[in-house]
Structure 1
Amino acid sequence: MRVLESVRSGAWVNRDRLVTYPLLGLAVTFFATGYVILANNGALPNGSPFGSDYVSFWVAAREVLAGRPEVPYSMPLFAQAQNAVFGDGNFYAFFYPPPYLAYLVPFGTLSYFPSLFLWLGLTFATALWTLVRITGYRWEVILIALAFPVTFLTIAHGQNAFLSAALFGGALVLLPTRPIVAGILIGLLTFKPQLGLLIPLALISSTNWRAFATATVTTALATGSSVILFGVETFSAFLAQGSYAMETLREGHVAWEKMVSVYAMMRVAGAPDIPAMAVQLLVSAIVAVIVIRAWRFGGGFSHEERSAMLLIGSLLATPFSLNYDLFLLAPAVAFLASDGLRNGFPSYRLSLLAATYLFPIVVLLFMAGGISIAPVVLCLLFGHVAFSPGSTRAVRTTQSTAPAK
């Protein structure tokens, strides 16, 4: 009974554990990563350079600087450009819209590893800024964010999940007070449009018209500017490769085990493409209805709870999301923790947040065995927030949980 009560109240999540466990996790990750890199002469076990997904970003930026912005959207030419530099025979596709090229161009002026570390450092710093704005806490947030298992995944892949979380979370934290700035951030997030499927629904449902209009204008300006900078041919090439992007999802060119969507879970379980997509669309529709209801009618939810619901729901609503995209859970957990520390936690929420922080490790272990469980956990977390709003709070925050500011 004591254990159950501790889990219900979250009393076991105290300040000492919030500091000690992340420090231990960070140390293990640091030494394990160093060992793998040294054992493979500075590369990953498959022969790819560290931060392998960044290869496509960096080579794309260099092609733009060389006056060939259409190359990233031609698989044969882009593969040739990558192999000319790295010579490992691996290919990293570039499915991002042309405005994203503008984000990358400055990083193409550096050699690969300085560019990679600058990219990761700057984008992680923006994510930290967002998390600090959400929570109000500083060094503890930095430590916890560094030790978050998805942080390592993003760094090892050289991916853009830090930037996605910074723009998405930053827009939500600024939405009540600076809707125009929030709209600009949402417009900039369209470099990864699959993560923003629910955002227009939330803005319209809550009548955040200034943010909606600003996001629309920002998206239009980014698109128009990229046409001017990179040419109509580049946009045409991007649109032409859309069928290959769908083929990549449908045929598992990116392993479904690495994805965290309902569609990928169904494919891993042996379902054909059409039934798997049907289940994905059903889940997406249910999530959309719940988000619309929460953002339209309130239902006792705080802004932090609605923001967390939107972040988690965005991962569930798209068929194309990978394990590093789980970094969107960082601002989601931060919103819920901040709300709970101020107003009190509903039963089991604090324990669930701690489990959410650790669950990417379990996801990776199951992934290695060819099993996908991420959507199940995301559904549980989304359901808890959706059906346990702040109006039903039963547990107050204790002094031992809150870190010092």
Structure 2
Amino acid sequence: MSIMRIATIATGQNLQRLIYLAICGLICTYIGVLGISILIGSWLFDENGRPLATDFIAFWGAGKLVLQGHAADAYNWDLHKSISTAESGATFDGYFSWQYPPTFLIVTAALALLSYPAALVAWMATGITLYAAAIRLIGNTRVAILAAMAWPPVLWNTVVGQNGFITAALLGAAIASIEKRPALAGLCFGLLTYKPQFGLMIPLALIAGGFWRVIGWAAVSTTVMIMLSIGLFGAEIWSDFFDAAAKVNGTILVDGRADFSKLQSLYGFVRALGWNWTLAWTAQGLLIAVLSAGIIWIWRQKVAFDVKAAALATVTILASPYAFIYDFVALAIPLAFLGKSGFSAKECAVVIFAGILLVSGPSEHLATAFLSALLVLGLVVGRAWQAFPTLGFAGWSAQRELKP
């Protein structure tokens, strides 16, 4: 073995150790930030020991209404706020609205059996466990799981008590199970309908790939959940849901009352720049058209499934006009698929920069999470280029320098 080869291997091993230490350092930092936040009264409880309201109170308050036999009132913003503040002891200005399908109310009822702070911790613990399980299903290595835990949106999601872990877990498990476990894949895709805005690209990929059994199981699981919600809450609750969804869309996507700069989508970025909704929807529509064509094309090709999987996970996030920073926990899913064959030094640099963008956001001047997703999409495109040398695409080096 040449001296140059030995030096290359040694450099790669040192870089691996450095990245591993950085990953562990980030995880410890997140834990430290949460611990300090509790001590200074900025997370879970304030300085007087009273519960602090976060996004999670929307889930918990809806669950309380379900337990009291008034599930439909979850879609009434005033009633929802009233029960949330009265039962939790937390006070807040404005609203933490509930706009999820009635099928998700079954989960919130279980959460509302606990006190608000205990339910938030249980929600985060359950979500991160399922998230880790999905990463293991994809990568099955300790480094992959640790890297997923160090992904910056993990901290964002935990602080506000949102559902990013659940979204990432369902998306990752569903895609990873498509080839060998169609029933599990269909079940997870069906459960993912609790976030309908992330359902634009998935049917296109499944149809293009001919995965009809997955489509069938997804249809069955979705139908069963809808029927269960009707049996529990009545059919009228779906009308309340659609009315609430329209109100939320008007408030967030049209009026921008949640601040357009917090929307981490092309639509939100265009609106944050001051342009009107027509131009923003045109830009988002063109993006959806390009992503649709791309996902159909790649899922019809004979390329490695991990590349197809990474492509689907990435465009699922990018296609939605309604995405916030916590939703980008799911961006760890395409990285887990790509990481199975290792990352080159150049790809590592892209991943690190994507993570830095997520740490710095959301920004008033830049849709950092959206740009991070574009970088990950660039990695996917680079891998796809490698699979088609006969088409004249110049891919990056196929030699992977870093393996998990």
Q: TM-score scaled by structure 1?
A: 0.88
1:333 to 332, 335, 350: 335
Q: Is the 1:180–1:210 contact (alpha carbons within 8 Å) kept by the matching residues of 2?
A: yes
Deviation string 1:176-215 (CA, Å, 9 cap, x unpaired) is: 1111211111011100111121000000000100001110
What is the rounded CA distance, in whole Å, between the counterparts of 1:395 and 1:11 in structure 2? 15
Match of 1:371 in 2: 366
Query: What number of residue pairs does the alignment pair up?
Result: 383
Deviation at 1:42, TM superposition (A): 4.9
Match of 2:281 in 1: 277
Match of 1:308 in 2: 310
Q: Is the 1:167–1:189 contact (alpha carbons within 8 Å) kept by the matching residues of 2?
A: yes
Deviation at 1:217, TM superposition (A): 1.3
User: 1:74/1:288 Cα in 2 relative to 1: closer, same or farther (>3 Å)?
Assistant: same
What is the rounded CA distance, in whole Å, between the counterparts of 1:192 and 1:13 in structure 2? 41
Unaligned runs of 5+ in 2: 1-10, 388-394
User: 1:362/1:41 Cα in 2 relative to 1: closer, same or farther (>3 Å)?
Assistant: closer
Per mean C-alpha deviation after superposition, the further-off stretch among 329-338 and 48-57 is 48-57
Match of 1:66 in 2: 68
What is the rounded CA distance, in whole Å, between the counterparts of 1:166 and 1:84 in structure 2? 32
Q: Is the 2:350–2:375 contact (alpha carbons within 8 Å) kept by the matching residues of 1?
A: no
What is the rounded CA distance, in whole Å, between the counterparts of 1:50 and 1:79 in structure 2? 14
Q: Is the 2:156–2:326 contact (alpha carbons within 8 Å) kept by the matching residues of 1?
A: yes
What is the rounded CA distance, in whole Å, between the counterparts of 1:163 and 1:13 in structure 2? 35
- Tell me: higher relative CO, structure 1 or 2? Use CA pairs within 8 A at least 6 residues apart: 1
What is the rounded CA distance, in whole Å, between the counterparts of 2:256 and 2:45 in structure 1? 22
1:129 lines up with 2:129 in the alignment: no
User: 1:41/1:319 Cα in 2 relative to 1: closer, same or farther (>3 Å)?
Assistant: closer
1:151 lines up with 2:146 in the alignment: no
Match of 1:350 in 2: 348
RMSD: 2.4
1:106 lines up with 2:101 in the alignment: no
Q: Is the 1:195–1:315 contact (alpha carbons within 8 Å) kept by the matching residues of 2?
A: yes
1:38 lines up with 2:39 in the alignment: yes
Match of 1:205 in 2: 208
Deviation string 1:264-287 (CA, Å, 9 cap, x unpaired) is: 000111111111111011111111
Deviation at 1:79, TM superposition (A): 1.8
Match of 1:14 in 2: 15
User: 1:41/1:359 Cα in 2 relative to 1: closer, same or farther (>3 Å)?
Assistant: closer
What is the rounded CA distance, in whole Å, between the counterparts of 1:371 and 1:27 in structure 2? 28
Matched residue type, 2:155:
F
User: 1:93/1:12 Cα in 2 relative to 1: closer, same or farther (>3 Å)?
Assistant: farther
Matched residue type, 2:354:
T
Matched residue type, 1:237:
D
What is the rounded CA distance, in whole Å, between the counterparts of 2:35 and 2:259 in structure 1? 26
Deviation at 1:348, TM superposition (A): 2.9
What is the rounded CA distance, in whole Å, between the counterparts of 2:396 and 2:40 in structure 1? 51
Matched residue type, 1:165:
A
SS in 2 for 1:125: helix
Q: TM-score scaled by structure 2?
A: 0.88
Deviation at 1:383, TM superposition (A): 3.4
- % same residue: 27
1:165 lines up with 2:160 in the alignment: no
Per mean C-alpha deviation after superposition, the further-off stretch among 40-49 and 12-21 is 40-49
Deviation at 1:254, TM superposition (A): 1.9
Matched residue type, 1:56:
A
Match of 1:3 in 2: none
What is the rounded CA distance, in whole Å, between the counterparts of 1:126 and 1:11 in structure 2? 32
1:386 to 369, 381, 384: 381
Matched residue type, 2:357:
F
What is the rounded CA distance, in whole Å, between the counterparts of 1:160 and 1:350 in structure 2? 27
Per mean C-alpha deviation after superposition, the further-off stretch among 43-52 and 158-167 is 43-52
SS in 2 for 1:350: helix
Deviation at 1:306, TM superposition (A): 1.1
Matched residue type, 2:226:
T
What is the rounded CA distance, in whole Å, between the counterparts of 1:356 and 1:324 in structure 2? 15
What is the rounded CA distance, in whole Å, between the counterparts of 2:14 and 2:77 in structure 1? 49
1:96 to 93, 100, 109: 100
Match of 1:5 in 2: none
User: 1:150/1:245 Cα in 2 relative to 1: closer, same or farther (>3 Å)?
Assistant: same
Match of 2:244 in 1: 241
Matched residue type, 1:80:
S
SS in 1 for 2:258: coil
Matched residue type, 2:189:
I
What is the rounded CA distance, in whole Å, between the counterparts of 1:16 and 1:381 in structure 2? 23
What is the rounded CA distance, in whole Å, between the counterparts of 1:255 and 1:45 in structure 2? 25
Deviation at 1:172, TM superposition (A): 0.9
Matched residue type, 2:228:
S
Deviation at 1:346, TM superposition (A): 6.7
Match of 1:232 in 2: 235
Matched residue type, 1:244:
K
Deviation string 1:144-182 (CA, Å, 9 cap, x unpaired) is: 232221111111111111111111110111111111211
Deviation string 1:313-340 (CA, Å, 9 cap, x unpaired) is: 11111100000111111111100001x2
Matched residue type, 2:39:
L
